[in-house]
Amino acid sequence: MNRSQFAFKLIDVFFYPLQNGVHFENIKEIRDVDYVPGGGTSRSGNIYFDKTLAAKGRKFPVIAYIHGGGFLMGDKNYRKSVCEYYAHNGYFVWDVNYRMPPEIVFPEILYDCVDGLNYLNELAKEYDIDLDKVVVTGDSSGGYLATYATAIACDDELRESLGSPEVKVKIAALAPFCGIYDVNVLLKQHMPLDMIQQVTGMLIGMHVDHDKKNIVESPWFNFLSPGAFINDKWPPAYIVWSEKDLLCAGQGPHMAELLKAHCPVVETDSAPELWNNHCYHLLWRTSAARKCMTKFLRFLKEQGLR
């Protein structure tokens, strides 16, 4: 485990009780459902829904959740409370894992996310879910992956260039939280212990020098930023960021402007305080998190997705 992997693992462990200390009644959880036969936990998902609503024969709108972790660590089980929250508010939640470097590199990491989304078609055979109301969301690197899955769904030429599977579900809305969307913005940041170089290098499977200049030698460099591929086919979007984000500084506002140029509806939310930092929306005890999530649910209702 290198320094970056250790740092993200430490974040997961330290913040787990803060991010997952809230639970909701009547939530059915089904864990480790393989979306690739024999894929193991790295290619499986957890399901959450409200048992009382299922008993009423309700057809659920869907939230497909992609966890964060710096592309290197993280797990679907670290997002239990947020998934229960969505289920409590009437959604069928499909919380997916995916393989990470060094096991696979870009763009294969995207293939897993697409396969995970496509498995909703199989889940619809067993559960009463509305495939016309699929919301794709994620936090941090999961926000990047959710955004990139949308880019693939809306651009056949991009999909072919990446060699990606086709996205076989309709994405009705995109909601990235505190994500990375432009690698050029990221490369201008300075973080201790060469963390940016390590993370980007592991993601694309090459050594990135201290000055970061050799990253342009990667054949995938021009494909690393999903914000570069926004077009008029993109769905409504809700994007959240921390204004003083220690990990993704400047990413949210930049992406919001790109989205506003193409998407039919774009709503934003941000926290200006330093203490409401990266993925602050997951810290359920804070008023900023509660306000953010309430606003997000209102957005979904206004789009007819709740």
pLDDT at residue 192 is higher than 80: no
State percent of the chain over pLDDT 70: 100
Q: Are 169 and 98 in contact (CB under 8 A)?
A: no
- Cβ neighbours of residue 169 closer than 8 Å, sequence gap 6 or more: 117, 118, 120, 121, 131, 134
Instruction: Name the 3-class secondary structure at 273.
Output: coil
Residues 121-176 have pLDDT tens digits of: 999 999 999 999 999 999 999 999 999 999 999 999 999 999 999 999 999 999 99
The residue among 285 and 129 whose pLDDT is bigger is: 129
pLDDT at 72: 92
Q: What is the mean pLDDT of the chain?
A: 94
Q: In residues, how long is the chain?
A: 306
At 190, phi and psi to the nearest 5?
-125, 125
Supply the DSSP string of 99-160, one letter for each residue.
Answer: --TTTS-TTHHHHHHHHHHHTHHHHTTTS-EEEEEEEEEEETHHHHHHHHHHHHHT-HHHHH
Residues 247-281 have pLDDT tens digits of: 899 999 999 999 999 999 999 999 999 999 999 99
pLDDT at residue 55 is higher than 80: no
CATH of 3-302, one of 3.40.50.2300, 1.20.1260.10, 3.30.365.10, 3.40.50.1820: 3.40.50.1820
One-letter amino acid for residue 48 of the chain: Y
pLDDT at 48: 98
pLDDT at 151: 98
Please tell me the distance from the alpha carbon of residue 47 to that of residue 151, in angstroms, as a whole number: 25
pLDDT at 180: 92
Residues 65-114 have pLDDT tens digits of: 999 999 999 999 999 999 999 999 999 999 999 999 999 999 999 999 99
Instruction: Name the 3-class secondary structure at 38.
Output: coil
Q: Are 85 and 177 in contact (CB under 8 A)?
A: no
Please tell me the distance from the alpha carbon of residue 56 to that of residue 189, in angstroms, as a whole number: 51
- Total Cβ atoms within 10 A of residue 187: 18
Instruction: Name the 3-class secondary structure at 176.
Output: strand
pLDDT at 128: 95
**Alpha helix locations (H) across the chain?**
3-19, 51-55, 80-88, 108-118, 120-123, 141-153, 156-162, 183-187, 195-204, 251-260, 287-302
Q: Are 82 and 65 in contact (CB under 8 A)?
A: yes
Domain ranges of the chain: 3-302
